[in-house]
Amino acid sequence: MEIVILDGYTENPGDLSWDGFKKLGRLTVYDRTSLTDTSGIISRINDAEIVITNKTPINKAVIENCSNLKYIGVLATGYNVVDIDTAKAHNIPVTNIPTYGTDSVAQFTIALLLEICHHVGHHNHAVHEGRWEKNDDFCFWDFPLMELSGKKIGIIGFGRIGQATARIAKSLGMKVLFYNDHPRTISPDFAENVELDELYAESDVISLHCPLTPSTRNMIDRDSIARMKKGVILLNTSRGQLIAEQDLAQALNSGKVYAAGLDVVSREPINGDNPLLFARNCIITPHIAWAPKESRQRLMEAALENLRAFLNGSPVNVVNK
């Protein structure tokens, strides 16, 4: 059994082990594969029966030119990099990892919020530059400092990560509102289910935890921002395409949105002309909320279990049944 991992570096830059996959077949691991070179992707897969990808696209041309392909595993929750309809037509199951980074992403979301409230990194840098030792007073701060207790956080998308974020926010004394566009009823005792317009109007902080769908693409735009409080804080550790970036940049620069903490943008790696790079009070991190070692280890183990289940004839987490 030939197994090819097309872009293994972000999952395992050297602090984890691929040995579990080696026990299941002859393994080839590429750190990176060009996302735009379809012929190169086909060449790397070659005659392999198993392909594992994170962000390398497996499109129709790849699937139709890799005749031995029997299984596609995605090293992520999102699977839009795979043409799942073509894979289904060729009887190739596509699996994803539905949950692995819940606690890591929730923790990171709150870390972004706390950085906005206290500017810890900035003030640490200021101290190391010598500003404190030269200061006339026993303390100083360059930005307004903010206490979260008593403020309202609105969480859009109340799956595992949204709920984990809500619990941390609640522990900080915040009142939690949430909006969830799912038919199932959620009635936690630590949060209040509200309509989206009420969430926009009432929240001091808004945190995005919803999937990217046609209805959520650019949901944070000029119109929705106009319905928010002046001085709202916006957090996004979900998908960059949820935000119309030019609209958010304008709102940050005008002060309508006080600050944003973003771990994702519409195109990654970020383009140098992304308007958010030049916006006021905008923290941007390079899509790392998911990346603590503990989280990546869980992802590795889940990907292995997906492959073992397929090899045993009972595939799980199949997204193209």
Residues catalogued as catalytic? 239, 268, 287
Distance separating alpha carbons of residues 39 and 35, to the nearest angstrom: 11
Structure tokens at 45: 């897969």
CA angle 258–198–168, rounded 5-degree value: 65
Helices 293-311/102-118 angle, 10° precision = 160
Neighbours of 113 (CB within 10 A): 25
Residue in the structure block whose two tokens are 């990176």: 32
SS3 115: helix
Distance separating alpha carbons of residues 298 and 104, to the nearest angstrom: 11
Nearest to 2 by CA among 26, 31, 32, 38: 26
Helices 102-118/120-128 angle, 10° precision = 60
H-helix segments, 90-178: 102-118, 120-128, 160-171
Q: Concatenated DSSP letters for 25-84? A: SEEEE-S---SS-HHHHHHHHTT-SEEEESSS-B-HHHHHH-TT--EEEESSS--TTB-H
DSSP 101: -
C-beta of residue 180 within 8 angstroms of C-beta of residue 158: yes
C-beta of residue 269 within 8 angstroms of C-beta of residue 292: no
